[in-house]
Every structure is written in C-alpha cells, then in structure tokens.
Amino acid sequence: MTCQHCSTNIIRKIPKGDTHERSVCGVCDIVLYENPKIVTGILPVFEDKILICKRNIEPRKNYWTIPSGFMELNETLKEAALREAKEEAGIEPKIDHLHTIYDLPHIGQVYFLFKAFCETSDHSPGIETIESKWVTYSDIPWNELAFSSVEFGLRHFHRTGPHYGSWDQ
C-alpha cells in the first residue's frame, strides 16, 4: 500500500503521542486510521411476526438474517437501516426505536438494529435475498441464522418487551 498523497510506501509505527501502532506514510506522516465499521439494520414487525431474509450472498449464503448492512458515507444511521430494508426485503417500515447495539470487537464491527413496524405484510426480496418471510418467535430457524448478531437481536427482541402478546410465549 502506498500513500495517496506522495506514493511512498505505507509503514507500521506508533505515531508520536499515540498509543497504537498505525499505518503511516513515512514521508508526509499522514496516518491511515482503521476504525470499526458500522452495520445497521431493521427488526421488521407486522402483527405477531418478524421478517427474516435468506441471504443470497456470501458470507453465510443460504442462512437467515434480518435486513441489515454496512452504513455508507453521507447517510444517517436510520437512513442506512431503511435503505437496507428496502434493498433486501422491499419493505418501507416505520422506525420505532433503536433496539439493539451489538459489539463485535474481534472483527471490528458494531451493529445498530432498529425495531420498526410495517403497515402491511407486503415484501419482496431484493437481489441479495433468496427469500423473505414473516415468522413468529417460535418459527425462527435458530440453527440457520447467519450471524451471532442476528441471534442476539432476535433474542433481545423477545426479552425486552414484545409489542404483541404472541412474542411473549
């Protein structure tokens, strides 16, 4: 990797006054900070069901997730979550509140999941989704979930006060 300003090779060192080793240009001293990435998504609710999506892309293709993905530059957290919901499941839910924050420090990611309500049960999987479907809590395919963050979000969802009684089983 080379510096985008002067094309000198990037080196690893602890910059003056810093505590972490960083990727630094040896000539212009520009530091290439590497920080966690934000993943945001939606826990979509309609009546007593939640919408899950079977992934059509790696990693974890064919496993179930909720609409979520990496935040882009120039969008807010809510905009990113709603964009993912539209792209992956063809839904335009109304956000209720920020429901789950889940740290994945070993891979440098933080998840922010919003609980959101759909006005209808309409949905249509996008190209990154093989299939989307509404499930009750007891129908969640726990052994076929794509990521620990999804399982955490769904279990947390159940624990923290369901909107409808059938989540309280």
Q: Residue with structure tokens 């922010």? A: 112
User: Which is nearer to Zn ion, 4 or 124 (by Cβ)?
Assistant: 4
Side chain identity, residue 83: R
Question: Using DSSP, how many helices (H) and how many strands (E) does the chain show?
Answer: 2, 10
| Pick from 59, 153, 75: nearest CA to 111 | 153
Among the residue ranges 5-13, 33-41, 47-55, 108-116, the one whose residues contact Zn ion (CB under 5 A): 5-13
3 binds Zn ion (CB under 5 A): yes
Nearest approach, Cβ of 57 to Zn ion (angstroms)? Answer: 35
Residues 20-59 that bind Zn ion (CB under 5 A): 25, 27-28
In angstroms, rounded to a whole number, what is the distance separating the alpha carbons of residues 111 and 97?
14
Q: Give me the least distance between CB of 21 and Zn ion, in Å please.
A: 18
Q: In terms of CB distance, is 5 or 61 closer to Zn ion?
A: 5
CB of 20 to Zn ion, least distance (A): 19
User: And the tokens for 17?
Assistant: 């006054």
Helix (H) or strand (E) segment spanning residue 37: strand 37-46
Q: Which residues bind Zn ion (CB under 5 A)?
A: 3, 5-6, 8, 25, 27-28
